[in-house]
Chains A and B, each alone.
Chain A
Amino acid sequence: MRLKRLSEIQSSKDIFGDCSAISCGVFCPTFGVSVCAPLIQDGAVLIVGTPECTWYAKNSSIYHAIDPGWDRFYCCAMEEQDITFGENGAIIKAICDIAAESDIHCIFLASTCVPEIIGDDLEAIAKAGEKLSGIPVLPVRIAHYDHKCNEFGVAVSRTLESLGSLMEAQPKQPKTVNLLGRNFHSAVDGSLRDTELVKLLQTHGIAIQRILPDRCSTSELKKAPSVALNIVTNEVGRELAYYMEKHFGIPYVLFEPSFDLDYIRAGYDKLQKCLGISMEQELCGRKREAKAAIHNGRRLLQGKSFINGGRPPDAFEAAEFLAEMGMKPLLIHAYRLCENSSKRIEKILQRGWNPYVNYVANPEGAAALTEELAPDIYIGHGDAERLIDRGIKQIEMLLPPGKLGYEAIVYAVSALTGVGRREFI
């Protein structure tokens, strides 16, 4: 077995498949721009790259963007001479042609691997394009071979950060917040607007001004810095939060999806303090529910084994949460280590478990292992029919996008124990 055990995972490089060959791979960063940028409804997107990269990016905007904006999504496809001699003003001309469309108020200019390798100066091109076209041009640098941009989430983060340059200082409106960051995994399964966090804030007179990324116009973006506070609801929103703090003095609170009772409590405490509200009564009730769910879950799930399929939140955090309920981790499909992963790994090991770790984008690498390990529950994408044939229960997702706060715990436990579906466990 080539896979490492959890105890051997020291860095992201230790997470790989059962073979060097990757059978599927993660989504290219262009995917992140394709699903995120078209949400700015008077903005256009211009992707620069090989015909292949630009074709697939355009295709993603058609198939995956919630607000596809097909007709606002352009491609500059490089030919051989562009690679040899450089783009020679073609991108600036393209920017001007796009800007000539009257309803376009900004252009996202995204580069891919090849223009990044040959060193086209995207920032300079964006500046020159902006000057000539008269509308903002937002450079978004994405190259998939780059360790710092190795998946589409990073591209979402960079696209979001680029929005900062469209914003202008505003008089602050007390009791208003922005939510920064959104989970694009199966986004149809829930919205941030339906979360416990939003409902609680609204009950206490806090208005949600903007959710980013989400449908909005450039003029609405301009006013985004009028809020009292930014709440980072997914890690992809962190860079924009830092930018807005630096340029507009807006503080932020990290409140990302988590199964950690202490993290959730600490986040709510900061929110109450920053916004000058008290949600204590509701929070105590919510926390009680979450604790009860964990207690109930522990009773029903004790001794059940699982494979975790790497969906949000952090695979190691999810595994630690399940291990705390007495479940036995056999295999964790993970993408990389996050900032708290080491702590989570330590806790799982302390419980006496040392599961295999597979690279999440290489399911083929551990397909045979799934059958060999024969878990009670498989969490994540998988061959549903094959799992059923082998008597393995499957949950597609432990945490959909519309669950944030204590409700995430209640939801996950109920999904695992099959509340309302007693036959599940």
Chain B
Amino acid sequence: MKLYKNYPVPSDRMGLLWTLSGIKDLVLVEFGPEGTTRYLLESLKYFGEEANAKIFTTMMDEDVVIMGNAERLRKTLVEVDEMYSPEYIFVVESSVGAVIGMDIEGLCREFQQSVKAKLLSVKGGGLSGIWTTGVEEALSMLAEIAEEKISEKENYNILGCCADELNHKAEADAITAMMEKAFALKVNCILSASASIEDCKKMGKSALNVVLRKEALPAAQTLEKKFGTPYVYGRPYGLDGTQSWLEEMEEKLGREGNWKAVNVEMEALRSLILQLKQKIEHGAVRKLVISGHSETVKGLTAFASLELGLPVLYLKSAWSAPKEEAAVTEEEYRHLLEESGTFVLVDGLHSRLADEKRRIQTAHPILEGITVPQPGLMGIKGAAYIVRKLIDL
């Protein structure tokens, strides 16, 4: 058992539910006490989101906990099936269900004959993994839904754009704008920020899958195996980062991008970076502290250190996985904030310790008076936003 002063690391179940909640027409039934479902809906609110999926709980009381009575689950499934006629019902185990040993898979098999929808069971109850495992499982389950085998490949999917990441929809906007400009390609399905069950089914129709996080790789591999769709894994941070990301797209798509359209923005960013470098030479910007999801940290660190030449110190995010090594302690972070020339790209809890001029928020939580509207940090526009903030320091 571990003691946490900040957030504990969210469980696999939480990641799974946050991810599935984005899918329209998806019906999800939790076999558990009421409170966690309410909390799930509340947490989405704090992420600046609302559930697109229909989310239900069976409730669980002492009858279930002591006697193991699953009748409530059967009734709930039958009613939800009748009311919404969904194609799939995701049946999710709770921690209480897992501890008392309810066999959710067996129950789904047993109740399958009572409902028209296909029951997909999710075991575990959040006792064995961290949230990213759940994100991966949810994305993989959704990829399995893809079924339409159409030879015409006319669009692309974004995989791994989920509610656990701050501003994830703005990041998707940045990607879709670039893909449109560079390749005149429209997005089909943004998994899971903006997708329906129908979109998931049509994922095989796409020419390419853009994978934003490693948790989406198994989903991409499933789609590659099923439909032969290639994928590009990575995030476009910074000027060079975005350029090489677009080059990889070209390679996978087998055609040249419209660099003329993209270059105008790239040139503007290049001159902004030159301006910033002068400030860095004069000591106005000395170091960056970065925290957030691992791939955000990785991408931003590469941009800052390789392209801008700024030293980067890593700070453990308020709820990042415990395995990550923290380069600076909380105390050191506070000291760094007192030094001139320090700029931070950090999560919400750490953001509140820095004044607005010297911070960009990279991860949840969204806090009133702290979190400000900002564009996605990926792509050329995202990089320009970061550079401008640094110039203004």
A residues sitting closer than 8 Å to B (CB atoms) are: 19-31, 48, 50-56, 58-60, 62-63, 70-71, 74-80, 82-83, 87-88, 90-91, 93-94, 97-98, 113-114, 117-118, 144-147, 150, 361
Contacts and interface: CB of A to CB of B under 8 A. Distances in A.
A79 B1 CA distance: 6
Contacts of B9: 51, 77
Contacts of A59: 7, 39, 42-43, 46, 365
Nearest to A152: B35
Nearest to B74: A20
Contacts of B83: 19
A74 B5 contact: yes
B59 interface: yes
Contact of A75 (B3, B55, B349): B3
Interface string B37-69: 111011100100000001111111110110000
A78 to B, nearest CB: 6
Contacts of B349: 62, 70
A25 B1 contact: no
B72 interface: yes
A53 to B, nearest CB: 7
A97 B43 CA distance: 29
Contact of A52 (B5, B60, B75, B95): B95
A90 B42 CA distance: 30
A21 B7 contact: no
A22 B59 contact: yes
A93 B3 CA distance: 9
24 contacts: A19-B80, A20-B58, A20-B75, A20-B79, A21-B57, A21-B76, A21-B80, A23-B56, A25-B35, A31-B35, A50-B126, A51-B14, A51-B126, A55-B319, A56-B43, A71-B5, A76-B4, A78-B127, A83-B99, A98-B3, A144-B33, A144-B35, A147-B62, A150-B61
Q: Kindly list the 4 A-B residue pairs having the minimum CB-CB distance in the complex, ordered from nearest.
A: A28-B35, A25-B34, A21-B56, A90-B1
B293 interface: no
Contacts of B95: 50, 52-53, 113-114
Contacts of A27: 35, 38-39
Q: Of residues B33, B57, B64, B80, which shows the largest number of chain A Cβ atoms within 10 Å of its Cβ? A: B33
Contact of B1 (A52, A62, A71, A76): A76
Contact of A55 (B8, B33, B127): B8
B358 interface: no
A87 B76 CA distance: 35
Nearest to B64: A145
A24 to B, nearest CB: 6
Given A117-B65, A147-B62, A55 B3 contact: no
Given A74-B3, A74-B4, A145-B61, A22 B37 contact: yes
Contact of B62 (A77, A91, A145, A361): A145
Interface in B4-49: 4-11, 13-14, 29, 33-39, 41-43, 46
A44 to B, nearest CB: 10
A60 to B, nearest CB: 8
A74 B64 CA distance: 30
A14 to B, nearest CB: 15
A145 B65 contact: yes
A144 B319 CA distance: 25
Contact of A22 (B6, B10, B58): B58
B1 A87 contact: yes
A60 B7 CA distance: 11
B113 interface: no
Contacts of B33: 28, 113, 144-145
A76 to B, nearest CB: 5
A30 B29 CA distance: 22
Nearest to B39: A56
B44 to A, nearest CB: 11
A63 B130 CA distance: 23
B10 to A, nearest CB: 5
B255 interface: no
Contact of B11 (A19, A31, A51, A83): A51
B79 A24 contact: no
A56 B72 contact: no
A405 to B, nearest CB: 32
B370 to A, nearest CB: 11
Contacts of A78: 1, 127
A113 B96 contact: yes
Nearest to B75: A20
Contacts of B37: 22, 24-25
Contact of B2 (A29, A58, A77, A144): A77
A343 to B, nearest CB: 27
A25 B11 CA distance: 21
A79 B35 contact: no
Nearest to A144: B33
B327 interface: no
Nearest to B3: A94
Contacts of B130: 51
A187 to B, nearest CB: 16
Contacts of A51: 8-11, 14, 126, 130
B4 A144 contact: no
Contacts of B261: none
Contacts of B8: 51, 54-55, 58, 75, 77
Contacts of A52: 10-11, 13-14, 36, 39, 95, 126
Contacts of A76: 1-4
B376 to A, nearest CB: 24
Given A19-B76, A55-B10, A80 B128 contact: yes
B96 A55 contact: no
B274 interface: no
